[in-house]
Amino acid sequence: MNQYPTIKVLDLVHTGEAKLQTGPFGTQLKASDYVSEGVPVINVRNVGFGDIRANKLEYLDEPMVEKLAAHKLKKGDIVFGRKGAVERHAFIGSVGDGWIQGSDCLRLRICSERINNRFISYYFITKSHQDWMQALCSFGATMASLNQDIVKLITLPLPSKDEQDKIAAILSAYDDLIENNKRRIALLENMAEEIYREWFVRFRFPGYQTTPFEKGIPKEWPIKEIGSLVKFDKGLSYKGAYLSDAGSVLVNLKCFSPGGGYRLEGEKYYSGSFSERHKVEEGDIILANTDLTQDGGIIGNPEVIPEGFHDNELLISHHLCAVRLGEAFSYAKYFFYHTLKTGSFKGHARGFANGATVLGLRTIEIERYKLLLPPDDMISSFITNVEPIHQMANKLKKENSTLDKTKNLLLPRLISGKLSVEDLDIQFPASMMNEAEAV
């Protein structure tokens, strides 16, 4: 079995092959310095698992960026969060190049001919490294905290540069396919949303030219409270003691991505008791009735539970509602899904959400939302148009799940050297072609 040699970050710092940079102090970067648009700043909330979470980015203008030139990021950099989720990191590729690291971040810049920075980023995703980081950064503290001294203690595997390049190329090929599918999914979902807006917001539906209008809306479409059409069931109030490694799948707030989209990795397992009304199925609409961030970014967001991913029964937590269509509207799932995605409903949800520390939205307030109800035949026609689009998006999500699982199986074996790449002829993916020049 091949065992790679190792090297500490400290050794790379001593030889000048690596540099560490803590984010700007509070006196250098204040809340008042942020602007509505400009150069993005990566804060700890934007640090993912090798990627950048682009939701809720903050921005600086050019004069401020010049003042913080020492904190400007470039391709190949690795950014850690200094507080909280210290096991995460962001690898800076074409996205993030030229951005600024935030005050709560720490940057590792490796400039070495013997190291592929993307390979190091993949090493940082391994469970063994993440466990090590959490253990060391959490020792004796209520909140995990990372500093330069801890980063210097990190021990990196050091196979030959050729092997590093090949390993990075194999794993990057999976990531590139996944990202390409994500872009296709976003395009498909935007297409379905645009059809909804065209038909039911702009009222340019088939036959609108001959439809009587009054005050800009179809005259014969009734205004209904959504609660009179569908039912909203609040989820299970559970105890952490019943979270386990097996049992029912508990769909919860972590399944909602702030930027939109269902996160399978947010699901938990639950082994306690529950009621029938807490159960959901794949393909059901769920709605966030809570937001832990106080900015209302998630509250009122709907998602459809992806199909073809679960063998166990599904439950929802008390932070969510299940949208029950009933027999009368069993065919109309995507009509109500897109209705709940409108800015109108989002504004309604934010307007009625309240709470001192956690924003909450009562089901009675959700039910009061008023919508213009089209005729059944028009809703059916809309479903005929958008259902194949959503089915294609779900197919791509399943493909991504398979790709991600395969990559995660390969990752530890490649990084550890248990799976040799020495004799493989690997073609580099496009995303890696210019990285060697950028480092």
Q: What is the end-to-end Cα distance of the chain in Å, rounded?
A: 31
Residue 261: its pLDDT value, please?
Answer: 85
Render the burial of 233-264: b for 16+ CB within 10 Å, e for the rest.
Answer: bbbbebeeebeeeebbbbbbbebbebeebbeb
Residue 90 has pLDDT above 70, yes or no: yes
Residue 198 has pLDDT above 60, yes or no: yes
**Local confidence band at 75 (pLDDT 50, 70, 90 cut-offs):** very high
**Local confidence band at 438 (pLDDT 50, 70, 90 cut-offs):** very low
Percent with pLDDT over 70 in the chain: 95
**Local confidence band at 1 (pLDDT 50, 70, 90 cut-offs):** very low
Residue 435: its pLDDT value, please?
Answer: 55
Which one has a higher pLDDT value, 213 or 423?
A: 213
Residue 294 has pLDDT above 60, yes or no: no
Q: 190, 204, 193: which is closest to 378 by C-alpha?
A: 204
Q: 51, 36, 135: which is closest to 88 by C-alpha?
A: 51
Q: State the average pLDDT over residues 102-108.
A: 94
Distance CA 34, CA 25 (A): 15
Neighbours of 87 (CB within 10 A): 22
Token pair belonging to 39: 């150069």
Residue 425: its pLDDT value, please?
Answer: 78
Q: What is the pLDDT of residues 24-68, one digit of tens each?
A: 988 899 989 999 999 999 999 899 999 998 878 999 999 999 999
What region, left, alpha or beta, does residue 247 occupy, with left being phi > 0 and alpha being psi -120 to 50 degrees?
left
Q: State the average pLDDT over residues 260-275.
A: 90
Residue 356: its pLDDT value, please?
Answer: 63
Q: What is the pLDDT of residues 143-173, one digit of tens each?
A: 778 999 999 999 999 999 999 999 999 999 9
Which one has a higher pLDDT value, 140 or 286?
A: 286
Distance CA 422, CA 258 (A): 41
Residue 433: its pLDDT value, please?
Answer: 59
Residue 266 has pLDDT above 60, yes or no: yes
**Local confidence band at 190 (pLDDT 50, 70, 90 cut-offs):** very high
Residue 295 has pLDDT above 60, yes or no: no
Q: What is the pLDDT of residues 297-353, one digit of tens each?
A: 788 999 999 998 999 999 999 999 999 999 999 999 999 999 999 999 999 998 888
- Positions of E strands within 30-165: 39-42, 49-50, 58-60, 78-81, 89-91, 100-101, 105-110, 155-157
Percent with pLDDT over 90 in the chain: 78
Q: What is the pLDDT of residues 378-413, one digit of tens each?
A: 999 999 999 999 999 999 999 999 999 999 999 999
CA torsion through residues 43, 49, 52, 53, sign: negative
CA torsion through residues 97, 102, 105, 107, sign: positive
Distance CA 351, CA 362 (A): 12
Residue 423: its pLDDT value, please?
Answer: 80
Residue 140: its pLDDT value, please?
Answer: 62
Give the global pTM.
0.84
Domains of the chain: 6-158 (3.90.220.20), 162-202+379-439 (1.10.287), 222-373 (3.90.220.20)
Residue 436 has pLDDT above 70, yes or no: no
Residue whose tokens read 């958008």: 386
**Local confidence band at 434 (pLDDT 50, 70, 90 cut-offs):** low
β 314-316/248-251 pair status: parallel
Burial tier of 339 (Cβ tally within 10 Å: 0-12, 13-18, 19+) = buried
